[in-house]
Structure 1
């Protein structure tokens, strides 16, 4: 954070942290879905095939990894927007 962060009024800081917290909660919920819920649903998903593989197998082995990488990039992109909106970006 930049040194001028302490000069930002408290109400603006509270809104900044509220947006950051909400983003974090959304990312963690999506992470939970792809890391816990999808693997628990492997049997029903295996009845569907994708690229010749059972969908449950594909989602557990490849889909979750792709989702995690996309979540990291989305979180970084959105947090940069929040930082710029409140004037605390680099």
Structure 2
């Protein structure tokens, strides 16, 4: 089965969005953890600042990534007529 140009464009945009958000996830998860160690010299509420900032901040960023994905995919689905709501 051959894909139409419209379908190819839809999947290209979907893959691009996913790749960008995965890159953000990777940087936040692995690069952020590396630099969190340097912040452990300072304390916040009795916890090392690196631990506190990483443990709390990463969860917020993950939720933002999910929200961006849901919003962007909903718009993309509606634009290409494949959304659940029409």
Deviations 1:28-69 (A, max 9, x none): 011111111101111333457778865422331100011001
Deviations 1:11-34 (A, max 9, x none): 000000000000000110111111
Name the count of aligned residue pairs.
Answer: 82
Checking the alignment, whether the CA contact within 8 Å between 1:47 and 1:55 is kept in structure 2 is yes
Higher relative contact order (CA 8 A, sep 6+): 1
What 5-or-longer segments of structure 2 have no aligned partner? none
What 5-or-longer segments of structure 1 have no aligned partner? 1-8
Within 5 Å, give how 1:48-87 maps onto structure 2: 54-87=48-81
Matched position secondary structure for 2:82: coil
Shift of 1:73: 1.1
Q: Structure 1 residue aligned with 2:27, among 21, 25, 33?
A: 33
